[in-house]
A and B are shown apart, each in its own frame.
Chain A
Amino acid sequence: MFHLRRVEYLFKWRRMIQNRGVSIFIALVSCVGIVAQPVWSESMQLFRHRASTGTESNQWHVPSEIMVGRELANQFLSRYPLVNNAMIQSYVNRLGQGIVAMVGRSDIRYYFAVIDADHVNAYALPGGYVLVTSAMIDACKNEAQLVGVLAHELSHINRRYIVETYKIGTVSNGFFGEASVMIGGGMQTSRIGLSQLSNQIMQELLETGLDAKEELAADAEAVLFMQILGYDVGQYRELLLSFGHHKDSSRVSNTHPKIDQRLVVIQETNTKGMIGRDRFNAHVHQ
């Protein structure tokens, strides 16, 4: 009898523990986890990242980048047609190709064009497409100022801002990419359709503008490019000042940071970035 009672007692306890096991178990482990906070691990569990995350910057990006850029260019041209002036188109393109020869990427071809639009702006599209509005051409007083604009846009493309922001690279990845799509039963939940992607990018380019830090970084790089090319950086500064004083401010696009901020960056870069100044002084004026 005693043995039977003991068995029943144990069985009753086992059932009770099982029935309440879930809540007790989780509560205990949670308490241990909250109390025993490690002081040496500050990472957001970056150790979990696999080697495959490095494939974000791989050979497949460029064709995808060009495809997206081409789609964006089509959308722009459907809104703002090309200026019907072969001379100016040729001039801007030759000027741009000259800049590319010195500071462009080697894995894409660049295209420069003037679009018929009455707002002062220029656009850098992934894949090497640079579009300058006719209003911007009108706003430039000399070649140095136009070079500054083209250099600024080139910087965006070189820095792959849109490619990295929108993680472009999965639109078409060859056999295994397509096979993985098929096996996934068409549920392409991590791939935005090309048109949806380009709509999002268009909105950023035309309305909200790129990230302010990116714009300022492009200004700084434009200054360096102009120095390399031998153009007067002061003219780029003059151009930006003219935007601030433009008699028709509605024509000046508000997709960039405030002029004051941009002028500070240009000034700082122009002072610091005299190429090789310290090296020259160290060797020549030692």
Chain B
Amino acid sequence: MTDLMPMFINNCRFILILGLTIGVMANSGHYKTMLIGDRAATMGGAFTAISDDPSGVYFNPAGIVYMPGNTMSGSANTFYQSSVSFKDAIGSLDWDREGMSMMPTFFSLLNRINDQWVWGLSYVVPNASIEHQQSMYQTLTNSNNMYILNVHEEDIRQYVGPSIAWAPTKTLSLGMTVYYYHHDRKLQSNQYISDVSDRIQLWKTNDQIMTINGITPVLGVMWSPFDHWSIGASARKTIDIGSNKKQNAIQFEPSDSSTIGGQIQSSELNYWEPTPTQYTVGVAYFPSPFVIFSMDAEAYLMDDPNYKNVLNLSVGCEWFFNQTQAIRLGVYTNNSAIPEPTNTSTSRRRIDLVGYSLGYSIYQSNNSITFGVNYATGYGKAQVYEDSTIINVERMDMSLLVAASFSM
């Protein structure tokens, strides 16, 4: 307790003087928040060398030319929950943030033109989170009576667009998807601190609306040099076509015991959120109609010096234990692009996650239903005050999905 006291007092002092920095909770520098599809989502996202079903348009459009049949469609609904806990951020109390969403995250339709050409259309939501927090803390220190913290954040990213795939030879295919990208983020926060005499010590509100529009082409190639083996690769980069950010911020601080001084800031500006150029390479082994093993390596290269390049790995397997039922397993990393907090940085939050996926599918003639769960967890460091104080942070993501697919 004695060892914790200086930290406790320091934490409270910073909160009570300046409040917490309410940064983005969801998808803080992560690129695999929600896995897409039915088979892919339950194989840890290791799908670049497979991609022979409707979710292939997102992972590697070259693979859709190998879909069985002439028409295929797929959709998924996902319940997603993310919990982040900043340890001892408010005195000896943890600051817990939780976001969740329940929505359709994927729909795709594929249609075969002939043996060599397939086209598709898809809608993908790789990230959707809504956080609503109402917290009140009392008597954090002898001079403090009340600290109120309210946060509401909505963060949704969406892709929609067509795909085309071409197989010039029996073992090689090329594909492209062109997505329209839309990212909508709203953040409202309110912090109120009063002293034991109920006088306002600090009142901060912040209202941000950010809208990003872009075009994201996805290029893919798939090659099967040997029977039962497949190698896939894809590349994508989001190009800005128009974005803006509006912000209203109000901060009141008492200049002395009897008056309150404040500043109001309002701004609207063109804003572009840095996005990486993503390269993915995958390999898959199909030893029999009952088993697949696959592995992906994804590199995210950032131009912006405020972000790090990221390497994510994923492995997955699919096992049909009879003709009508299959289970899938996957393990994946979801590393952060935010650099490690340092003594000279502020407002950085870096958590590297490791995820596990599990799925079960039932097949009947030309349709299937899949139930899946993904769980990711990780520890890291964060800076939640106006200065460079570093604290521990823990994050847990979980998603439950129900998906269906049809083919003919």
Residues of A that sit less than 8 Å from B by CB = 15, 18, 21-22, 25-26, 29-30, 32-34, 36-38, 40-45, 47-56, 58, 60-61, 64, 167, 169-170, 173-174, 176-177, 179-181, 183-185, 187-192
Contact = CB atoms under 8 A, between A and B. Distances in A.
Interface in B8-63: 50, 52
A180 to B, nearest CB: 4
Given A21-B235, A184-B404, A190-B407, A41 B369 contact: no
A159 to B, nearest CB: 18
Contacts of B50: 48
B392 interface: no
Interface in B152-173: 168-172
A60 B365 contact: yes
A52 B303 contact: no
Given A42-B170, A45-B230, 12 more contacts: A29-B221, A33-B171, A33-B172, A48-B66, A48-B286, A50-B289, A55-B365, A60-B364, A173-B365, A180-B369, A184-B406, A187-B73
Contact of A18 (B219, B227, B303, B367): B303
A32 B174 CA distance: 13
6 closest residue pairs by CB, A with B:
A190-B406, A169-B365, A52-B363, A180-B404, A51-B320, A190-B408
Contacts of A173: 364-365, 367
Nearest to A53: B68
A45 B407 CA distance: 18
Contacts of B235: 21-22, 25-26
B73 A190 contact: yes
A52 B406 contact: no
B170 A25 contact: no
Contacts of B66: 45, 48
A170 B73 CA distance: 14
B277 A22 contact: yes
B150 to A, nearest CB: 35
Interface in B358-401: 362-369
Nearest to B324: A55
Contacts of B82: none
B73 A44 contact: no
B73 A184 contact: yes
Interface residues of B, number: 62
A45 B221 contact: no
Contacts of B224: 38, 41, 45
A56 B235 CA distance: 36
B313 interface: no
8 contacts: A29-B233, A48-B230, A51-B290, A55-B324, A55-B363, A167-B365, A184-B73, A187-B75
B367 A177 contact: yes
Contacts of A177: 364, 367
A51 B289 contact: yes
Contacts of B52: 48
B33 to A, nearest CB: 22
A181 B73 CA distance: 11
B403 interface: yes
Contacts of B230: 45, 48
Contact of B109 (A42, A180, A181, A189): A189
Given A41-B170, A190-B73, A18 B406 contact: no
Nearest to B237: A22
Contacts of A192: 408
A79 to B, nearest CB: 28
Contacts of A169: 365-366
Interface in B59-88: 66, 68-69, 71-75, 77
* Interface secondary structure of B, over-half rule: strand
Contacts of B217: 22
B308 to A, nearest CB: 13
Contacts of B225: 36, 38, 41
B107 interface: yes
Contacts of B168: 34
A174 B68 CA distance: 23
Contacts of A34: 168-169, 172
B301 interface: yes
Contacts of B337: none
Contacts of A174: 364
Which of A33, A37, A42 has the most chain B CB atoms inside 10 A of its CB? A33
A113 B332 CA distance: 63
A183 B370 CA distance: 10
B115 A52 contact: no
A21 B237 CA distance: 10
A153 B107 CA distance: 43
A30 to B, nearest CB: 6
A6 B93 CA distance: 48
A180 B71 contact: no
B296 to A, nearest CB: 15
B326 interface: yes
A32 B227 CA distance: 17
Interface string B214-227: 00010101011111
A29 B223 contact: yes
Contact of A188 (B170, B223, B403, B406): B406
A2 to B, nearest CB: 21
Contacts of A18: 277, 301, 303
A33 B223 contact: yes
B169 A37 contact: yes
B322 interface: yes
A240 to B, nearest CB: 35
Contact of A26 (B219, B318, B320, B323): B219
Contacts of A55: 323-324, 363-365
A47 to B, nearest CB: 5
B289 A49 contact: yes
B160 to A, nearest CB: 15
B339 interface: no
